[in-house]
Amino acid sequence: MSLPAWSEQFDRDRLRNVPSTLPPIITREWAWAGATGAGVRVAVVDSGVDAGHPAVGHVDGAVIVEHDPEAPSHVRFVEGAHGDVFGHGTACAGIIRSIAPDCELFSVRVLGARLTGKGHVFAAGLRWTLEHDMNVVNMSLSTGKQDYFGLFHEIADAAYFRNVMLVCAVNNVPGPSYPSEYASVFSVAAHVDKDPLHFDYNPEPPVEFGAPGVSLDVAWLDRGRLTASGNSFAAPHIAGIVALTLSKHPRLTTFEMKTVLASLADNRTAAHRAG
Amino acid sequence: MSPRRDPVTTLARLAADLGVSFLPAGHQELLRSITEAARRLFEAGACSIALLTDDGAELQFITASGAGADAVTEMRIPAGQGIAGWVVMSGQAIAVDDVAQDPRFAATVAQATGYVPRSILAMPLETARRVLGVIEVLDRAEHRAATNRDMELLGVFAAQAALAIESSTVFNDLGRFLLEAWAGASTDTDLADRLRRHASTAPQPRKDMAEIAGLFYELGQSSASERRLAARVLREVLAYTRDRSTGDDD
């Protein structure tokens, strides 16, 4: 009997046994006790990262993505060390480092001197993370421009199928926000709690997770620090927790990781959450 | 139609050249009332709105209420630095409790306005077509600092301001083309030719507006039933584009 193309892999003779990844009861002990983020590649798609900031320590790779009308696809890549234009990328990198101290950090700088070609630069930065085998991508950026809906959707889906976990800050402006609204990403907003491992789950999407992001002391320009608030600081908390969990359980898929986070959220009422 | 007198042509040329100065009178007042309402609601020292320049390299303040308002209005800052710069680039809102902790930003602002705020809450002004600029609230009352509710609230003001700015931009683009064509034309036929020529030579996105102006002019010459048909087609097009809005690249 001939089967539709996608049914062949479910043919009894070909079907593989898949090792289980999730325990019957998910606990924080199981998820990340003893984990450091080691071996997990985390990209910060933002304004650059100051690798010399004490909160960051070092980065393992860096690329500037910028608009260039002469280049193919109007985007140019410049690999190598760079600084932070605004301070925000360093803040995100510092938060991720504080939660997953041994993760490999990569800075993908997509924000620069002007807004020209922003959507295509963002998209090229995201593609770079897919092509360079990142495991987790922190993206505290969004666009509400409908022209980019399809473009970002395609990249977000590609990331999902490759288990590249995109962690995106939602914006506070009424109206659409891409890529944070897609089901394939971890969408994050700020809550007022300060404990870095305190996160909540919202069963009414599009925003799924809440993490610290109000009046936080974060790394900033010139080796300094700043007290700041925003969903953009909540996202790197979830990125850090994802990196931590992934370093202990590298085979987790994106949807399994969401299941882990949803199970371990502080507002989850299950009696067995402790651990 | 007889050739028009010089003063009209001169006025039309001036109007076209002055561009944004010829916005509808209520526009500027509306934006100022938005900043004033936000300033009062947040018990803040000041509130301002800055828009991206055409080349996307700078933010120009167009209205402000409260402390330092006069110094800030018309001020330009590079879009590639500071809190407001990051907000407009990233599309994300941010609040900073102590601006002095960002010495580069504090120095730039102090130099330009003589007023350095302690805190800043900044949010992008954005429509489904493009990023317009940023709205900032400076020095909110201390007791409001540790909450994220203010961001949600400012989002409502930002949406209103973005809508007002977007509609006046469309008005302005269309008005500018009619005036430019008017300035160069001496007869009715000449005006139609001018509009067509504008449509073929104007840079995007003004090219589209010029072409539409030309088509409207021609419609004006046709019969009532033809105009009704055109209106119906336009309504259909607008209904479609409301569902699936498109725009020009940032």
Residue pair B84/B136 in contact by the 8 Å Cβ criterion: yes
Q: pLDDT above 90 covers what percent of chain A? A: 77
- Is B179 domain-assigned? no
Give burial (CB, 10 Å; 0-12/13-18/19+) of A183: middle
CATH superfamily, domain A34-267, is Peptidase S8/S53 domain (3.40.50.200)
Residues on chain B touching A118 (C-beta within 8 angstroms): 89, 131, 250
Q: Do A230 and B78 touch (CB under 8 A)?
A: no
Categorize the per-residue pLDDT at B147 as very low, low, confident or very high, splitting at 50, 70 and 90.
Answer: low
Q: Give the integer Cα–Cα distance in Å for B79 and B131.
A: 12
Categorize the per-residue pLDDT at B231 as very low, low, confident or very high, splitting at 50, 70 and 90.
Answer: confident
Categorize the per-residue pLDDT at A269 as very low, low, confident or very high, splitting at 50, 70 and 90.
Answer: confident
Residues on chain B touching A46 (C-beta within 8 angstroms): 90
Residue A275's pLDDT is 47
Residue B93 has pLDDT above 90, yes or no: yes
Lowest mean pLDDT across A37-41, A43-47, A140-144, B61-65: A140-144
Average pLDDT value over all residues in chain A: 92
Q: How far is B53 from chain A (nearest CA, A)?
A: 10
CATH number of the structural domain spanning residue B140:
3.30.450.40
Q: Is the torsion defined by CA of B150, B156, B158, B161 positive or negative?
A: negative
Domain containing B130 equals 29-147
Residues on chain A touching B97 (C-beta within 8 angstroms): 215, 227-229
- Is B136 domain-assigned? yes
Q: Tell me the HSE value of B21 on the side-chain side, using a 13 A CA sphere.
A: 5
Lowest mean pLDDT across A18-22, A165-169, A172-176, B233-237: A172-176
* Of B167, B133, B245, B95, residue with least CA distance to A115: B133
Q: Which residue of B has its CA nearest to A230?
A: B94
Residue A128 has pLDDT above 60, yes or no: yes
Q: Do A225 and B94 touch (CB under 8 A)?
A: no
Question: Does the interface ipTM go beyond 0.85?
Answer: yes
Lowest mean pLDDT across A79-93, A257-271, B9-23: B9-23
Categorize the per-residue pLDDT at A3 as very low, low, confident or very high, splitting at 50, 70 and 90.
Answer: low
* Of B170, B177, B174, B172, residue with least CA distance to B12: B177
Q: Do A115 and B98 touch (CB under 8 A)?
A: no
Residues on chain A touching B130 (C-beta within 8 angstroms): 145
pLDDT in tens, A31-90: 999 999 999 999 999 999 999 999 999 999 999 999 998 998 889 999 999 999 999 999
Q: Tokens 């996105």 label which residue?
A: B205
Task: State the best of B81, B86, B99, B123 to mutate against chain A, taking most chain A CBs within 10 Å.
Answer: B86
* B90, B95, B250 ranked by CB distance to A111: nearest: B90
Structural domain count, chain B: 1
- Is B161 domain-assigned? no
pLDDT in tens, A208-243: 999 999 999 999 999 999 999 999 999 999 999 999
Peptide bond preceding B205: is omega within 30 degrees of 0, i.e. cis?
yes
- Is B127 domain-assigned? yes
* B93, B96, B101 ranked by CB distance to A171: nearest: B93
